[in-house]
Chains A and B, each alone.
Chain A
Amino acid sequence: MNMAKWGKNLFILISTAIFVNGHAWSAPPDTSPQGFAWKDSAEIYAKICAYCHEAQVAPPIRNRSLPPEYIRAVVRNGNRAMPAFRASVIDDESLAKLADFVSKSETGY
């Protein structure tokens, strides 16, 4: 077997091993260097806000035309039992969009 062919076979062998490894033993590891990032405001709303604000734990906040500045301030400072959310959890840009989303929202999310 010449070297080039051997190299090709080795490549196939390794990639098969990776494939098998990925599927039979474990899920492929998350290799994204950035880690987690929110997809959009709807996701943030569903995965943070809705657990209380759509579950009779805290007052509804959608469809009330709450001013976005007010929403941003409450998210950052908290309000009585409502926890404050840090920029490391919801970054400034996402929060600006989320505040608009909550303020303007009409139906569904």
Chain B
Amino acid sequence: MASKYIALPKGVSETVFDTAISRFREILGDTAVLTNAEQLAPYIKTMMPVPDADHAPSAALLATTVEQIQKIVAICNQYKVPIWTISTGKNFGYGSAAPVERGQVVLDLKRMNRILEVDKDLAYALVEPGVTYQQLYDYIDEHQLGLWLSVPAPSAIAGPVGNTLDRGVGYTPYGEHFLFACGMEVVLANGEVLRTGMGSMPNSNTWQVFKWGYGPYLDGIFTQSNYGIVTKFGFWLMPAPPAYKPFVIQYEHEEDIVEIVETIRPLRISGVIPNAIVIAHALYEAPVKARRSDYVSGPGAIPDEAVRKISKDHKLGIWNVYAALYGTQEQIDVNWQIVTQAFKQSGKAKILTEQEMGDDPAFNYRAKLMRGDMTLTEFSLYNWRGGGGSMWFAPVSQARGSETLKQMALTKQILAKYGLDYSGEFIVGMRDMHHIVDVLYDKTDPAQTQAAYQCFDELLTVFSAQGYGTYRVNTAFMDKVAETYGPVQRKIHKTLKDALDPNGILAPGKSGIR
């Protein structure tokens, strides 16, 4: 007899699952427990090159309170039902809203979405998991709080809790999001509720202002992990500066990345340029302005000549360095002097500001991102190939020119082997760079989908063999990346898992941990 479910959790019979579902319904009500195919359709679509069925959930639970979540974990423990928690559920290119393993129940916290506090003077927020950046942006605007967010490129529809828990990035001076996280509330697998750091102490009013608390710092173990369900999350906001000056510096050759990075690093480490600068390749920017099919047809990666032609036609550099200055006008004037002097030295850089680039769509959306505004323009990337396939390849690099050139060349060479283009950028930390490459492919084309899978696999193999680790990965490759970090770390992760979640009910498989 056909099952009434579209999938079942691993090792759980339909009869046992029936019981678990009816218990979930007692807690949440019928309308907040989704099991039919139509209701679950939006949880199934991913951009990964594997059958969506491999990541189909068995059900979704729409919880809104801590008490409900405590009761849910009790049922999960009783019936050994695994749950996959999402907050705003927009983890595109990393697995979207689908679970890491087929049959897991999605715990969808989108409707748990109160903004609990925004403190104007201390410049922090405390929010529930379902709060989107747009919701917070509107709240700050409505209450005239004079604070800026730092957002990832899907800004409006994503949210600070899920993004930061996956250690995501934005583009303001607060761009390395987890650095600015301060205090979490976590429901543990045994139903206990932990408040991290200063939040552990009754009556404390320093939960959102001091990160470390007392004793071992715990917040880190709840990021990219499956040790708990985060139900409240504190983080710092940037006071809106009196003046803001976004700019782009264009270079004409791929090898120029060496000069770019060597020039930027001292400016970034010393804080002259304070934000998470992006060094974007022409092919990352081109989709905002051009169509691939206007320049190339047939199989194979786009040739360098075509890329040069695109950048000429559309006023792009082969590298485009987006950065900004923040502060009073006087501070900006002084720093602008330092920046322009540094970049003018070799005569290769073209320095452009809002004055020259005001109407340019690529510049405009970057300028928005560097001040934490809402935009989804970066989704243009998906018009490049069409077909909706995407995986982020995200190795970490030193902020050293020779290293970035080496990583770029290696990535490009492996992509080309599979007929795929290098749509890459480097997001500049102080000493590191997130090398972010959108592995774009047409998911409606089975051959290209298979090539994309093999290509990604090879990228991970080759990079890890050279000592380059990836900072984050989609759910189809989590075990593979966990392997690359070696057996000792894996064992520690497992030891923690066994201690905190002995029945393995929380997202087994996340980051390769079960």
Interface residues of B (CB under 8 A from A): 34, 38-39, 41-45, 47, 60, 62, 64, 88-90, 92, 96-97, 108, 110-121, 128, 130-131, 134-135, 139, 143, 145, 156-157, 361, 374-377, 379-380, 382-383, 386-388, 390, 443-444
Given the known interface contacts A27-B118, A30-B114, the answer about A36 and B376 at a Cβ–Cβ threshold of 8 Å is no
Q: A25-B120, A88-B111 are in contact. List 8 more A-B contacts (CB 8 A).
A: A26-B120, A27-B139, A29-B117, A35-B128, A81-B382, A83-B90, A85-B42, A89-B157
Are B118 and A48 in contact (CB-based, < 8 A)?
no
Are B377 and A55 in contact (CB-based, < 8 A)?
yes
**Complex Cα distance A86/B91, Å?**
13
Are B379 and A52 in contact (CB-based, < 8 A)?
yes
Are A26 and B119 in contact (CB-based, < 8 A)?
yes
What B residues does A88 contact at CB under 8 A? 60, 62, 89, 108, 110-111, 130
Are A30 and B108 in contact (CB-based, < 8 A)?
no
**Complex Cα distance A30/B135, Å?**
12
Contact with B121, one of A26, A55, A57 (Cβ below 8 angstroms): A26
Given the known interface contacts A30-B114, A35-B114, A86-B89, the answer about A47 and B134 at a Cβ–Cβ threshold of 8 Å is yes
Are B361 and A56 in contact (CB-based, < 8 A)?
yes
Chain A residue, CB-CB nearest to B43: A86
What A residues does B388 contact at CB under 8 A? 78-82
Q: Which of A57-85 contact B (CB under 8 A)?
A: 57-58, 76-85
Are B110 and A26 in contact (CB-based, < 8 A)?
no
Given the known interface contacts A30-B116, A32-B114, A48-B157, the answer about A77 and B377 at a Cβ–Cβ threshold of 8 Å is no
Contact with A26, one of B38, B117, B390 (Cβ below 8 angstroms): B117
**Complex Cα distance A56/B11, Å?**
47
Are B131 and A36 in contact (CB-based, < 8 A)?
yes
Is A87 in the interface zone, CB < 8 Å from B?
yes
What A residues does B111 contact at CB under 8 A? 35, 88
Is A11 in the interface zone, CB < 8 Å from B?
no
What A residues does B361 contact at CB under 8 A? 56
What B residues does A83 contact at CB under 8 A? 45, 90, 92, 96, 157
Top-5 shortest CB links A-B:
A81-B382, A84-B42, A80-B388, A51-B376, A88-B110
**Complex Cα distance A77/B45, Å?**
7
A59 shortest CB reach to chain B, Å: 10
B452 shortest CB reach to chain A, Å: 14
Contact with A35, one of B41, B64, B145, B375 (Cβ below 8 angstroms): B64
7 A-B pairs with C-beta separation under 8 A: A26-B119, A29-B115, A30-B139, A36-B130, A76-B38, A77-B41, A81-B47
Interface size class of A (residues with CB under 8 A): 20 to 34
**Complex Cα distance A80/B157, Å?**
18
**Complex Cα distance A32/B44, Å?**
32
B367 shortest CB reach to chain A, Å: 15
User: Chain A CB within 10 Å — which of B47, B88, B89, B376 has the most?
Assistant: B376
**Complex Cα distance A27/B444, Å?**
48
B370 shortest CB reach to chain A, Å: 17
**Complex Cα distance A57/B90, Å?**
18
**Complex Cα distance A88/B97, Å?**
12
Chain B residue, CB-CB nearest to A33: B114
Are B116 and A51 in contact (CB-based, < 8 A)?
no
Are A51 and B156 in contact (CB-based, < 8 A)?
yes
**Complex Cα distance A86/B157, Å?**
12
Chain B residue, CB-CB nearest to A77: B41
Chain B residue, CB-CB nearest to A56: B361
**Complex Cα distance A53/B119, Å?**
35
Binary flags per residue of A29-54, CB closer than 8 Å to B gives 1, else 0: 11010011000000000011001100
Are B376 and A80 in contact (CB-based, < 8 A)?
no
Are A58 and B379 in contact (CB-based, < 8 A)?
yes
Given the known interface contacts A48-B156, A77-B45, A80-B387, the answer about A35 and B112 at a Cβ–Cβ threshold of 8 Å is yes
What A residues does B376 contact at CB under 8 A? 51-52, 55, 57
A75 shortest CB reach to chain B, Å: 8
What B residues does A78 contact at CB under 8 A? 42, 45, 388
Are A80 and B386 in contact (CB-based, < 8 A)?
yes
Contact with A80, one of B41, B43, B110, B443 (Cβ below 8 angstroms): B443
**Complex Cα distance A1/B444, Å?**
81
**Complex Cα distance A100/B39, Å?**
20
Contact with B45, one of A25, A27, A58, A84 (Cβ below 8 angstroms): A84
Contact with A57, one of B44, B108, B130, B379 (Cβ below 8 angstroms): B379
What A residues does B121 contact at CB under 8 A? 24-26
Chain A residue, CB-CB nearest to B380: A57
Are A35 and B382 in contact (CB-based, < 8 A)?
no
**Complex Cα distance A55/B383, Å?**
13
Chain B residue, CB-CB nearest to A85: B42
Given the known interface contacts A55-B377, A80-B443, the answer about A30 and B39 at a Cβ–Cβ threshold of 8 Å is no
Are A26 and B130 in contact (CB-based, < 8 A)?
no
What B residues does A28 contact at CB under 8 A? 143
What B residues does A48 contact at CB under 8 A? 156-157
**Complex Cα distance A81/B374, Å?**
19
User: Chain B CB within 10 Å — which of A29, A56, A86 has the most?
Assistant: A86
